[in-house]
Amino acid sequence: MTRTVIQQKSHEQRTRGVALLTVRDLKKHFPIRRGFWSRTVGHVKAVDGVSFDILPGEVLGLVGESGCGKTTTGRCILRLIEPTAGEVVFEGQDVVGLDRGDMRGLRRKMQIIFQDPYSSLNPRITVGAMLAEALRIHKIAEGEAAQARIRHLLEVVGLFPEHANRYPHEFSGGQRQRIGIARALSVDPKFIVCDEPVSALDVSVQAQVINLLQDLQKEFDLTFLFIAHDLAVVEHISDRVAVMYLGKLMELADSEELYRNPLHPYTRALLAAIPVPEPNARRERIELEGDVPSPANPPSGCPFHPRCPIATAECAEVVPEFRDVGGGHYVACIKV
């Protein structure tokens, strides 16, 4: 099945409202405290009204500059960080409203692969003990059944069964990330947040891990929210791509459509910054002026207008609506 056919089916499904995960107006504002009494004097608006759907079996790429709120969005969805406001619905279940006991049961279906493949692993226990702990907590397997499952998980991610007896410091960065993937897979999840899973790895290892994730996604019918800042990597793995800036979504479209026809000036700037492996190739360079504004004091109107090359006075006053301009291509820009 070609990517174009898959995208057409995905758009039809979105039109019918079929979604594994629904996020509506998600916000996370961290309080700024100062003074002897630690009074709240402001808020860092890390995520400020994000909405999207993810279909079963889909890979949604979430991209943007460092500090734009990508990781916070992923962790709020899983309630590793409690959201300030908004709605997260997984398989028709309100995630935000669940108590601690019900949330533990849901965590078996929703997992995460962390960015740092070393600090996310417990250095004091072996890989086998780490995986066995997840199986025991979720009452999946114990004893010899657990050991057999652990050996199978290690083989699935490209490691050897004997690696279960080693500690995290005995592995390379790529191997540690494979262990993190095995841990996420151990409880048979349906949805995985991949939080920049290859950004800390060498380029050659990045390709191996991306190919592994693609194979696992097809084999186990997984759904991914793939967070990254490397748009070349995101294009390779994602069915749709959402572009985030200063806590808000700027654009969302099918992967092929977004890379072929970017509408938002910020998306165009990000795509123009992708290195081209051709010395004689020429492409338009878009240089953004200034720095990313502070999320503690975001600009009025469109958050991108202070750096936008086509901004007008109206952009500083009007908050653009995140709207569908056709074919499931969403953009937040009054000039489009």
Q: 63-121 pLDDT, tens per residue?
A: 998 889 999 999 999 999 999 999 999 999 999 999 988 998 899 999 999 988 888 89
pLDDT at 275: 73
pLDDT tens digits for range 9-29? 444 444 445 899 999 999 999
Listed range (83-92, 124-133, 246-255, 273-282) with the worst mean pLDDT:
273-282
pLDDT at 78: 96
pLDDT at 127: 96
- What is the rounded CA–CA span in Å between residue 252 and residue 330? 5
- In CATH, which of 3.40.50.300, 3.50.50.60, 1.20.1250.20, 3.30.499.10 is domain 3-109+189-275+284-331? 3.40.50.300
Contact partners, residue 2, CB within 8 Å, separation at least 6: none
Half-sphere exposure (Cβ direction) of 176: Cα atoms closer than 13 Å = 22
Residue predicted with more confidence, 277 or 138: 138
pLDDT at 281: 66
Residue 100 DSSP symbol: H
Half-sphere exposure (Cβ direction) of 123: Cα atoms closer than 13 Å = 5
- What is the pLDDT confidence band of residue 334, given thresholds at 50, 70 and 90? very high
H or E segment and range at residue 76: helix 70-78
- What is the pLDDT confidence band of residue 202, given thresholds at 50, 70 and 90? confident
Domain boundaries, the chain: 3-109+189-275+284-331
Q: Over the Cα atoms of the chain, what is R_g?
A: 21
Closest-CA residue to 224 (of 20, 8, 66, 67)? 20
- What is the rounded CA–CA span in Å between residue 199 and residue 227? 10
pLDDT at 283: 66
String of b and e for 144-160 (b: at least 16 CB within 10 Å)?
eebbebbbebbebbbbe
Residue 299 DSSP symbol: P
User: In whole numbers, what is the pLDDT of the chain averaged over residues?
Assistant: 90
- What is the pLDDT confidence band of residue 278, given thresholds at 50, 70 and 90? low
Report the percent of the chain where pLDDT is more than 90.
Answer: 75
Report the percent of the chain where pLDDT is more than 70.
Answer: 93
pLDDT tens digits for range 300-332? 999 999 999 899 999 999 999 999 999 999 999
Residue 223 pLDDT > 60: yes
pLDDT at 7: 45
pLDDT at 285: 72
As a whole number, mean pLDDT of residues 151-168 equals 96
Q: What is the pTM of this model?
A: 0.90
As a whole number, mean pLDDT of residues 290-294 equals 84
As a whole number, mean pLDDT of residues 53-60 equals 96
- What is the pLDDT confidence band of residue 136, given thresholds at 50, 70 and 90? very high
pLDDT at 62: 97
pLDDT at 195: 95
Answer whether 238's CB lies under 8 Å from 61's CB. yes
- What is the pLDDT confidence band of residue 279, given thresholds at 50, 70 and 90? low
